[in-house]
């Protein structure tokens, strides 16, 4: 069968790549065309467009790039028609994907959604579009099944979280080799800095993350470079702060870290699954933040806290993200009872997410329903 998959950012590329591998196991004749990144292409997908051309962060940035977004939508519709897939598979990226889903459904294509839009966080009214345009939904967070089925009467399949598979399937070098290959100190404990994957957020986050470096001289700070950004983008930060840097090795960095400062997003859950105590950070464009604050109805922004339904890791958001607060919270998780409490909660988190095999189960259901 023919499958058309649309992912729009780095995390979607990761999960999309594992889904492609699973689809090729479930359907030996699978012909896959996709929007995504290097990982999806390496997994065997024919790349129609790279997510680097689509990743716009925040409301203001989206408005500024409306002409590009509409060109992408038009190209996507035409490309789907030419490929004529048996099923179109959407991975998160709801602003774009729900538009395409409406068109695809109207034009007789079967529509599957893997990794739900976060309508439980904001704009819950989008459930009507999902009911109308999506034939099957596969969710990865345990509370999403209850949200869709009990609250909205829309049946979904909980398949587990694909990050568990992604982490277990990623080959990681031993700590001594990692430190040597990355030019890091052989002894100092590592504090990982995960400032995001888009230029705007990295620029906002790194300055404040690095502002506490002088207060933790017994540690070495190491920046995780995003695969979507070139190495030279990070050069000014490295030159001014004398910190470590690794590119496209985030999992190895987390594996061998003592603690982490993490921009809100998928990375907060990845950090937790590696068992690394963290402080969650977020500071966005002022206008975008003011808009988001009025439409997002959640008590937390990190996946760790959302899944657990309580504060497991500290979140420093917008005006609370200061050098003083960051120093205070990082000190708590570096050593002591707060650190131990987080590690215990991480074990409960892993239990809630279910076991391995999310990508394989999703692929099997997609093939069966196509």
Q: How far apart are CA 359 and CA 39, in angstroms?
A: 15
| CA within 13 Å, CB half, 102 | 10
Would you identify the CATH topology of the domain 2-161+355-369?
A: Rossmann fold (3.40.50)
Alpha-carbon distances of 81 from 55, 92, 107, 125, rounded to whole Å: 24, 21, 9, 29
Contact assessment for residue 17 and residue 42, using Cβ atoms and an 8 Å cutoff: yes
pLDDT digits (tens, 9 = 90+) for 259-272: 999 998 889 999 99
pLDDT confidence of residue 240: 77
Would you identify the CATH topology of the domain 173-353?
A: Rossmann fold (3.40.50)
> Other CB atoms closer than 10 Å to residue 240's CB: what's the count?
10
78 φ, ψ to 5°? -65, -40
pLDDT digits (tens, 9 = 90+) for 120-165: 988 899 999 999 999 999 999 999 999 999 999 999 999 999 999 8
Who wins on pLDDT, 242 or 254? 254
Who wins on pLDDT, 236 or 328? 328
Model-wide pTM > 0.85: no
Give residues with Cβ within 8 angstroms of 274, minimum separation 6: 167, 251, 254, 255, 257
| Strands ordered across the beta sheet of 278-282 | 244-247, 220-225, 190-194, 259-263, 278-282, 314-317
- Banded model confidence at residue 68, pLDDT cuts 50, 70, 90: confident
Facing residues of 315 across strands? 280
Give residues with Cβ within 8 angstroms of 67, minimum separation 6: none
pLDDT at 293 over 70: no
Q: How far apart are CA 236 and CA 45, in angstroms?
A: 35
Contact assessment for residue 122 and residue 295, using Cβ atoms and an 8 Å cutoff: yes
Q: How far apart are CA 21 and CA 168, in angstroms?
A: 15
pLDDT averaged over every residue in the chain: 91
pLDDT confidence of residue 360: 96
What is the three-class DSSP state of 92?
coil
pLDDT at 70 over 90: no
> Residues of CATH 3.40.50.2000 domain(s) within the chain?
2-161+355-369, 173-353
Facing residues of 279 across strands? 261, 314
């Amino acid at each position: 069968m023919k499958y058309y998959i649309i992912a729009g950012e780095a995390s979607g590329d990761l999960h999309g790549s594992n889904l492609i591998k699973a689809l090729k196991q479930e359907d030996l004749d699978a012909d896959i065309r996709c929007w995504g990144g290097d990982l999806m292409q390496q997994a065997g997908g024919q790349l129609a467009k790279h997510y680097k051309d689509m990743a716009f962060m925040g409301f203001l940035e989206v408005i500024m790039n409306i002409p590009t977004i509409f060109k992408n939508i038009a190209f996507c519709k035409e490309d789907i028609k030419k490929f004529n897939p048996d099923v179109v598979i959407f991975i998160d990226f709801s602003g774009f994907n729900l538009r395409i889903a409406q068109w695809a459904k109207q034009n007789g294509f079967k529509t599957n959604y893997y990794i739900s839009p976060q309508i439980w966080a904001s704009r819950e009214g989008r459930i009507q579009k999902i009911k109308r345009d999506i034939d099957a939904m596969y969710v990865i967070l345990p509370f999403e099944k209850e949200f869709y089925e009990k609250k909205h009467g829309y049946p979904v399949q909980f398949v587990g979280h694909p990050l568990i598979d992604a982490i277990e399937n990623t080959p990681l070098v031993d700590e001594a080799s990692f430190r040597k290959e990355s030019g890091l100190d052989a002894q100092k404990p590592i504090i990982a800095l995960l400032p995001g994957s888009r230029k705007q957020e990295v620029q906002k986050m790194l300055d404040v993350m690095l502002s506490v470096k002088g207060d933790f001289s017994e540690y070495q700070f190491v920046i995780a470079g995003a695969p979507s950004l070139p190495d030279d983008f990070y050069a000014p930060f490295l030159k001014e702060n004398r910190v470590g840097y690794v590119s496209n090795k985030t999992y190895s960095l987390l594996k061998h870290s003592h603690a982490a400062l993490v921009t809100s997003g998928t990375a907060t859950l990845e950090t937790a699954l590696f068992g690394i105590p963290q402080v969650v950070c977020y500071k966005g464009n002022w206008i975008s933040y003011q808009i988001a604050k009025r439409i997002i109805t959640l008590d937390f922004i990190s996946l760790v806290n959302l899944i657990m339904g309580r504060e497991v890791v500290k979140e420093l958001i917008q005006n609370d993200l200061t050098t003083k607060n960051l120093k205070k919270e990082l000190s708590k998780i570096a050593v002591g009872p707060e650190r131990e409490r987080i590690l215990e909660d991480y074990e409960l988190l892993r239990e809630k997410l279910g076991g391995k095999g999310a990508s394989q189960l999703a692929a099997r259901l997609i093939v069966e329903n196509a």
